[in-house]
């Protein structure tokens, strides 16, 4: 029998309503799994078993009295860059060690008010900067499919927790791919909605014009369900979009007959592993088999996206991270005067990658260089948006691999930042342009590691995106779970 913690939220929500199980049981099942595998996976930075059981008990009585929202009683994990009132939030950084936010980020506030259960906070690359989770100040996360491999990043803990059955679903953040890439490497569904669809209030900022909260789920329908509860205008985030709240699961099973699917030519070039290419091409054939019209399209400025991102994101980060000065929160290392105190605090509190980005960003924004770097990168950003506009005049959705490779060994790329950055080459364009994109598992490569296929849709066309992804998911029905999980059942 499938353990409760291995089931989808859609299924559990129906079971809860039918009185077949309780939130207390589901929550206990998640903690049992955490107990069984967490010493090897290390997805969590903080667990809150007692508080979660209290929330579960409250959810159960709410469900029993009828009319509870569909997310009530479903246990969730949150990436540790999302502020949680009264629960330590570190961003995977020593500089925020011990910091307890006095308020909740909006998506968690909404879910909490709707009866959701918080299992704990998940490990991530420091301040969400990374693609492998190895930049966390609290040690790496291990990929449940192969513990010697990275889970991807930066939201690696959230992805691994969902893959290993430690959480039913989770939230992460995606600034350049940090939801989609780890979802791809861990064999789960990762959705990055349109920029601004989900409020960023309480999301500790990395690069504000790119940061997007996204979901990790076991299936596309779960992603649509979770999105329905967290999307929508928030007066606390001026950049949140004024869209009406809606049920994104509606119409998800409408099929894709006649849908125009563009296969991105640039996404099958050098550096893409053969196992990734063949799995994604296979997914494209399946889309055609489902009645979609498939053609080739081009995003000609893809080559420049990575460079533009690595100017824009560090520039914004250098400004956002100026607030960590030892005065207001987290770590403080004393010094003879305030300047020395701040210098020492930042020197001791930030890891190597964060320092690299702050220096890159500060340089790119400095007088005399601003136009040549930041200004130029913003122009490239406009070209990328135009590429998409042109592609979407011919196609409804675009398809590419999510990541050029499957999971790689822990330690393999730590000394080579450029090789690490290249992992995001297919995910970054959707952040630069604000488009919604999703990664779903398309199969396993010859090493038995999950491959992800990415679908991208025009701004605010989450409906088309989810309908296409759902249809493809039904056609693929990825068999297999991480051995870590199947071994437990044996």
Using CB under 6 A, pick the residue from 59, 74, 105, 128 that binds ligand GLN.
128
Angle at alpha carbon of residue 111, lines to 34 and 38, rounded to 5°: 10
Closest to ligand GLN by CB, 261 vs 312, is 312
Q: How far is the CB of 210 from ligand GLN (least distance, A)?
A: 8
DSSP of 430-452, one letter per residue?
HHHHT--EEEEEEEE-TTS-EEE
Tokens 């709410």 belong to residue? 62
Is 170 among the residues that bind ligand GLN (CB under 6 A)? Answer: no
Closest to ligand GLN by CB, 141 vs 485, is 141
Q: How far is the CB of 353 from ligand GLN (least distance, A)?
A: 8
Tokens at residue 358, please? 């702050």
Using CB under 6 A, pick the residue from 89, 133, 175, 439 that binds ligand GLN.
175
Is 177 among the residues that bind ligand GLN (CB under 6 A)? Answer: yes
DSSP H or E segment with residue 471: helix 462-476
DSSP H or E segment with residue 113: helix 106-113
Closest to ligand GLN by CB, 63 vs 358, is 358
- Evaluate whether 472 touches 453 at the Cβ level (below 8 Å): yes
Is 424 among the residues that bind ligand GLN (CB under 6 A)? Answer: yes
Q: How many residues at the interface with ligand GLN, by CB under 6 A?
A: 14
If DSSP codes are grouped into helix, strand and coil, which group holds residue 198?
strand
Closest to ligand GLN by CB, 146 vs 424, is 424
What part of residues 202-221 is at the interface with ligand GLN (CB under 6 A)?
Answer: 206
- What is the rounded CA–CA span in Å between residue 163 and residue 218? 8
Inter-CA distances, 217 with 10, 77, 108, 122, 168, Å: 10, 11, 16, 15, 7
Is 13 among the residues that bind ligand GLN (CB under 6 A)? Answer: no
Q: How far is the CB of 427 from ligand GLN (least distance, A)?
A: 7
Find the part of the chain contacting ligand GLN (CB under 6 A) among 110-118, 175-183, 253-261, 440-448. 175-183
- What is the rounded CA–CA span in Å between residue 222 and residue 438? 13
Find the part of the chain contacting ligand GLN (CB under 6 A) among 10-18, 170-178, 195-203, 297-305. 170-178
Is 178 among the residues that bind ligand GLN (CB under 6 A)? Answer: yes
Tokens at residue 458, please? 């025009």
Contacts of 24 (CB under 8 A, 6+ apart): 53, 56, 57, 60
The 289-318 site mask, x for binding ligand GLN (CB under 6 A), equals ------------------------x-----
Compute the Cα dihedral for 23, 24, 26, 31 and give only its sign: positive
Is 174 among the residues that bind ligand GLN (CB under 6 A)? Answer: yes
- As annotated, the active-site residues are 79, 154, 178
Query: How many residues comprise the chain?
Result: 490
What part of residues 344-403 is at the interface with ligand GLN (CB under 6 A)?
Answer: none
Closest to ligand GLN by CB, 120 vs 130, is 130
| Cα 225 to the center of its chain, rounded Å | 16
Q: How far is the CB of 74 from ligand GLN (least distance, A)?
A: 25
- Evaluate whether 134 touches 414 at the Cβ level (below 8 Å): yes
Is 150 among the residues that bind ligand GLN (CB under 6 A)? Answer: no
Using CB under 6 A, pick the residue from 123, 154, 184, 228 that binds ligand GLN.
154
Is 129 among the residues that bind ligand GLN (CB under 6 A)? Answer: yes
Closest to ligand GLN by CB, 165 vs 177, is 177
Tokens 């950003």 belong to residue? 381
The 130-149 site mask, x for binding ligand GLN (CB under 6 A), equals xx------------------
Bridge partners for 439 per DSSP: 190, 454
- What is the rounded CA–CA span in Å between residue 125 and residue 123? 7
- Evaluate whether 365 touches 319 at the Cβ level (below 8 Å): yes
Closest to ligand GLN by CB, 37 vs 312, is 312
b vs e for 72-101, b when ≥16 Cβ sit within 10 Å of the residue's Cβ? bbbbbbbbbbbbbeebbbbbbbbbbeebeb
Q: How far is the CB of 175 from ligand GLN (least distance, A)?
A: 4
Binding-site ranges for ligand GLN (CB under 6 A): 128-131, 154, 173-178, 206, 313, 424
């Amino acid at each position: 029998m499938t353990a409760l913690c291995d089931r989808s939220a859609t299924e559990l929500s129906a079971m809860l309503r039918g009185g077949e199980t309780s939130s207390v049981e589901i929550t206990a099942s998640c903690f049992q799994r955490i107990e069984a595998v967490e010493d090897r996976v290390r997805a969590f930075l903080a667990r809150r078993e007692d508080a979660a059981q209290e929330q579960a008990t409250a959810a159960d009585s709410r469900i029993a009295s009828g009319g509870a929202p569909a997310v009530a009683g479903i246990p969730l994990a949150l990436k540790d860059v999302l502020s949680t009132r009264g629960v330590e939030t570190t961003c995977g950084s020593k500089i925020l060690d011990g910091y307890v936010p006095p308020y909740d980020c909006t998506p968690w506030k909404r879910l909490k008010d709707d009866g959701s259960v918080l299992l704990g906070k998940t490990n991530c690359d420091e301040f969400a900067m990374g693609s492998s989770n190895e930049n966390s100040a609290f040690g790496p996360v291990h990929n449940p499919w192969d513990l010697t491999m990275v889970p991807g990043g930066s939201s690696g803990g959230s992805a691994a927790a969902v893959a290993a059955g430690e959480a039913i679903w989770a939230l992460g953040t995606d600034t350049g791919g940090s939801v989609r890439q780890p979802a791809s490497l861990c064999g789960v569904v990762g959705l990055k909605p349109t920029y601004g669809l989900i409020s960023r209030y309480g999301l500790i900022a990395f690069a504000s014009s790119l940061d997007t909260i996204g979901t990790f789920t076991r299936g596309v329908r779960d992603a649509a369900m979770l999105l329905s509860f967290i999307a929508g205008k928030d007066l606390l985030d001026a950049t949140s979009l004024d869209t009406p709240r809606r049920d994104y699961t509606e119409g998800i099973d409408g099929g894709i007959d006649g849908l125009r699917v563009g296969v991105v030519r640039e996404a099958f070039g050098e550096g893409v592993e053969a196992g990734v290419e063949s799995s994604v091409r296979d997914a494209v054939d399946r889309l055609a088999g489902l009645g979609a019209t498939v053609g080739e399209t081009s995003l000609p400025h893809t080559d420049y996206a990575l460079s533009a991102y690595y100017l824009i994101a560090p520039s914004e980060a250098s400004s956002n991270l100026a607030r960590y000065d030892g005065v207001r929160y987290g770590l403080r290392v004393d010094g003879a005067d305030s300047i020395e105190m701040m210098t020492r605090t930042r020197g001791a509190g930030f890891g190597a990658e964060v320092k690299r980005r702050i220096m890159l960003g500060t340089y790119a924004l400095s007088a005399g260089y601003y136009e040549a770097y930041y200004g130029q990168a913003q122009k490239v950003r406009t070209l990328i948006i135009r590429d998409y506009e042109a592609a979407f005049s011919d196609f409804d959705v675009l398809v590419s691999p999510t990541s050029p490779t499957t999971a790689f060994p822990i330690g393999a790329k730590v000394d080579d930042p450029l090789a690490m950055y290249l992992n995001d080459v297919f995910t970054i364009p959707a952040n630069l342009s604000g488009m919604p994109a999703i990664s779903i598992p398309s199969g396993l490569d010859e090493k038995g590691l999950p491959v992800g296929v990415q679908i991208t849709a025009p701004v605010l066309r989450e409906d088309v995106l989810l309908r296409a992804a759902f249809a493809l998911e039904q056609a693929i029905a990825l068999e297999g779970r991480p051995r870590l999980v199947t071994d437990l059942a044996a």
